[in-house]
Amino acid sequence: MNHRARALAATALLTLVALIPAGLGAIARQPAAPTAPAEPVAGPANRIGAIALTVTDLDRSMEWYRSVLDAEPLGIRTLEGEAFERLTGVFGARARAASLRIGSETIELFEFITPRGRPIPHDSHGNDRWFQHIAIIVRDMDEAYARLKAHNVAHASPQPQRLPDWNTNAGGIEAFYFRDPDGHYLEILEFPSGKGEQRWQSNDRLFLGIDHTAIVVDDTEASLAFYRDLLGLRVAGTSENHGPEQERLNAVFPARLRITTLRAPTGPGIELLEYLTPRSGRPMPADTQPTDVWHWHVAINVDNVEPLFVACRKAGGRPVSPGPQPVSANGERAGSGLMARDPDGHALLFLTGQ
């Protein structure tokens, strides 16, 4: 997808009908045997788009992502009106939203003016099921870590970790978890030669782009029924990670994770993190709203959004929107959108016609 098409898709997400007239400890659980994928009911997801998160102060967050991670601002919109309320499931919703590009990928920051949401729990851990992060690939881990320290970022890992060579799929990867001003987890990651996509071997910038967003799930098989069987994402990689490096990376002891990476034809991946141990992670609060600062959502382009309103329930999820809502780009109707939650409560924004 070229930059113009990508920018148009980002604009469509931000202008969400904007919007319409108003302007929008356990014992390790053994992984189950994999099941064969079914035909996706909505047609296969053809693109994973912008990854969005809720912030408390949009201007502060924009400056932080720009100065710390070299994110390129693409624009700010005000979202309000009935269509935006119905899309998000939030009565009286009014928000400012900014789109920023890191490499070829886009993140979106939402500050809700009304109503205001709750902060990220101060005692959050890496195995809680509201955990989500984006993995930003870097050219050089030492240089990137020095940049983060120069900006006094909050550490989640004690320092960058190099995953051990015995782990065939992950050995040699260097990774570090940290937090943004609101407490969202972020990761920087450097692939060794021979791992990751070829584009991650580039030297043209320090922060190369977003490889994936990771979410903690309770049961990988239940999540595969949703993401693979319902949405048609393909399994691109698996591993089982454990040991002191993984424990320090995630700041969780004794961490043993089943990791499954899913991808659409284009866009960043979605990585499922199932903690086999410890099993102490807390579920997503049942009353989570897009206004809450722990809220993230991932835009997924599909061929047909209509069947997902019913089908996501059958796959263990639930719709947030009362039905598909019109979305627009540059003031013109550009398709439909539906917000829904997966079996663990992680939010997705399905888009068609983009």
Per-residue pLDDT at 331 exceeds 70: no
Cα(221)–Cα(353) distance, rounded to whole angstroms? 30
Average pLDDT over residues 128-155: 98
Reported as a pLDDT band with limits 50, 70 and 90, residue 70 is: very high
Residues 270-325 have pLDDT tens digits of: 999 999 999 999 999 999 999 999 999 999 999 889 999 999 999 999 999 999 99
Stated pTM of the model? 0.88
Per-residue pLDDT at 51 exceeds 70: yes
Radius of gyration of the chain (CA): 19
Average pLDDT over residues 81-96: 96
Q: Residue 91 is encoded by which pair of tokens?
A: 């009565």
Name the nearest CA neighbour of 338 among 16, 95, 116, 8: 16
Per-residue pLDDT at 354 exceeds 70: no
What letter represents residue 315's amino acid? A
Per-residue pLDDT at 28 exceeds 60: no
Reported as a pLDDT band with limits 50, 70 and 90, residue 41 is: low
Helix, strand, coil abundance in the chain, percent, nearest 5: 20, 35, 45
Residues 166-204 have pLDDT tens digits of: 999 899 999 999 999 999 999 999 999 888 888 998 888
Cα(285)–Cα(124) distance, rounded to whole angstroms? 12
As a CATH number, domain 3-352 is 3.10.180.10
Percent of the chain with pLDDT over 90: 80
**Model pLDDT, residue 315:** 95
Per-residue pLDDT at 16 exceeds 60: no
Mean predicted lDDT score pLDDT of the chain: 89
Could you tell me the residue ranges of all domains in the chain?
3-352
- For the four alpha carbons of 335, 46, 93 and 97, in that order, the dihedral sign comes to negative
